[in-house]
Structures are given as C-alpha cells and as structure tokens.
Amino acid sequence: RQTGRFHYAESLAPEVEEERVPRMIVQPLIENAVKHAFENAEHPEIRVTWQREERFMRIIVADNGCGMGPEELRRLNDSLNSSSLLQGKTEEAGVGLPNIHKRLRLRYGEKWGVRIESAPGQGTRVVLELPLQKYALTSEQEKEKQSHA
C-alpha cells in the first residue's frame, strides 16, 4: 500500500464548469486509486479529467499504477453490470464502484454509469458518463418517455 505522496492533477473543460454532478462520485474513485494502484510506483499520479461531449459529460479518474490483467478487468466490469449489483451483492467491485454505478443508473437511466479500462503496468482509468443537465432525464422520466413511444 502506498504510504508516501502522490501527484494529483485535474483538468476541467470550461464547458462543464457549471454542470452539477451527484455528490460523492469522484472522491471514492480517487481513494480507490490511492488504495489499490500504487503498490510499487516510483512516481504515483492520479489525474481527474472533466470533459464535455455533445450531450453528456465524461469524468475520467486515471492513475499510472500497476493496472489490472484482462481477466480481473473483465470480472470487475461484469460485476458492475450484473443483476447482483441491483441487489447490492457484488463482491468483485467492493462497495464504492457499484454504489456510484448504481446511483448514476438509478438517477439517469441504464445508458449511464461507470466503465473501467486498465492494462498491467499501464494504470487504470475509471470513466463516468452522465448527461449534461439540460439533456438529463431522471430514470422515471425516461421510463415515461419510452412508454409513450
């Protein structure tokens, strides 16, 4: 476990400065990186990037830590999208990632949430995607819209 210092950098696109995001969706990701990524890193770094796409915002929490192998990465992403997530029973992803993923999906719909990208020795990127405020429908509004289509 990393007990020393790490470098933190944040990049915020001007187009998302006024956007609102649910509470406690980025901090747990930074804590995960500090806890899991930097076992043997010489120059540990965490970078948070806030980007605007056409109708949504992408938040990326990236580290330059040890990364994950393909099998571990697949299990982790699968656990985020499994039915056990909805029942609060995923062990593979711990507590923070499933909580964030579930909250984003409940608030904005199934299209939104968390995706993890990683490779051994290359670090990990946790990508959150959520609609921009002016395009956001709550999951209830989305269901209502689909029932009238």
- pLDDT tens digits along 10-43: 999 999 999 999 999 999 999 988 888 887 777 8
- Asked whether the predicted pLDDT for residue 117 surpasses 50, the reply is yes
Instruction: Evaluate the CA torsion angle 71, 8, 59, 114 in order and state its sign.
Output: positive
Give the pLDDT band of residue 1 (cuts 50, 70, 90). Answer: very low
Backbone angles phi, psi at 130, to 5 degrees: -145, 150
Residues 6+ apart with CB under 8 A from 37: 2, 44, 46, 63, 64, 65, 66, 67, 123, 124
- Asked whether the predicted pLDDT for residue 140 surpasses 70, the reply is no
Q: Which helix (H) or strand (E) holds 35?
A: helix 27-36
3-state DSSP call for residue 138? coil
Per-residue confidence (pLDDT) for residue 138, from 0 to 100: 58
- pLDDT tens digits along 64-113: 999 999 999 999 888 887 755 444 444 545 678 888 999 999 999 989 99
138 vs 135 pLDDT, higher one? 135
Q: Out of 5-9, 16-20, 95-99, 127-131, which region has the weakest mean confidence (pLDDT)? A: 95-99
Backbone angles phi, psi at 16, to 5 degrees: -110, 5
Per-residue confidence (pLDDT) for residue 90, from 0 to 100: 45
- Asked whether the predicted pLDDT for residue 50 surpasses 60, the reply is yes
Distance of CA 80 to the CA centre of its chain: 11
